[in-house]
């Protein structure tokens, strides 16, 4: 059985998240200069920035950085502009993300690298699943 240490998990996570989010960066680029970004676009860019900062903190075992950015991610996920779709599935994923951010913050404060890294992986998977769900739901709504 393969056993990964905290550092090994960070490397595996970085590769997995980088692969999974490669299309997300393209979707969240700033809109043309003539149109200011929407609140949702700003929120998603902020979420990506804080997620990147969590990964950076995990990589160098900067637990304060991890905890601070986990808290910010949790706060972002509670913003009214976060809720863009009214469905049971969407609300479940949002709640999961908030719980995972809370776990990440707690494990960072406990200086538990392995648990915090797993929390980051869980959060990242929830993000990817939610974005996939939203794309599919929007595609079904189009005539």
Identify whether 68 is part of a domain: yes
Q: What pLDDT, on the 0 to 100 scale, is given for residue 3?
A: 53
Identify whether 69 is part of a domain: yes
Closest CA to 51 of 67, 75, 73, 24: 73
Per the confidence metrics, is the pTM higher than 0.75?
A: no
Torsion of CA 27, 97, 3, 65, to 10 degrees: 80
Query: For the chain, which residues score pLDDT lower than 70?
Result: 1-34, 80-81, 143
Q: 105: burial class by Cβ within 10 Å (0-12, 13-18, 19+)? A: buried
User: Could you read off the pLDDT of 13-24 as tens digits, one per residue?
Assistant: 554 445 444 444
Identify whether 3 is part of a domain: no
Cα 92 to chain centroid, rounded: 15
Identify whether 1 is part of a domain: no
Q: What pLDDT, on the 0 to 100 scale, is given for residue 112?
A: 98
Identify whether 33 is part of a domain: no
Identify whether 66 is part of a domain: yes
The Cα 96–Cα 129 span in angstroms is 11
Closest CA to 58 of 2, 103, 102, 120: 120
CATH number at 45 reads 1.20.120.10
The Cα 62–Cα 4 span in angstroms is 19
Q: What pLDDT, on the 0 to 100 scale, is given for residue 132?
A: 95
Identify whether 104 is part of a domain: yes
Long-range (24+ apart) CB contacts under 8 A made by 108-112 are 108/57, 108/63, 108/64, 108/66, 108/67, 108/70, 109/63, 109/67, 111/63
- Please count the structural domains in the chain: 1
Which domain covers residue 46, as residue numbers? Answer: 38-141
């Amino acid at each position: 059985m393969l056993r990964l240490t905290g550092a090994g998990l960070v490397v595996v996570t970085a590769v997995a998240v980088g692969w999974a989010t490669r299309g997300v960066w393209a979707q969240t680029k700033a809109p043309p200069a003539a149109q200011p970004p929407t609140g949702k676009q700003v929120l998603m860019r902020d979420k990506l920035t804080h997620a990147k900062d969590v990964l950076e903190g995990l990589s160098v075992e900067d637990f304060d950085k991890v905890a601070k950015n986990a808290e910010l991610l949790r706060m972002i996920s509670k913003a009214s502009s976060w809720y863009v779709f009214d469905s049971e599935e969407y609300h479940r994923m949002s709640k999961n993300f908030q719980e995972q951010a809370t776990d990440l913050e707690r494990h960072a404060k406990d200086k538990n690298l392995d648990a915090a890294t797993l929390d980051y992986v869980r959060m990242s998977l929830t993000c990817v699943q939610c974005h996939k769900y939203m794309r599919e739901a929007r595609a079904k709504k189009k005539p």
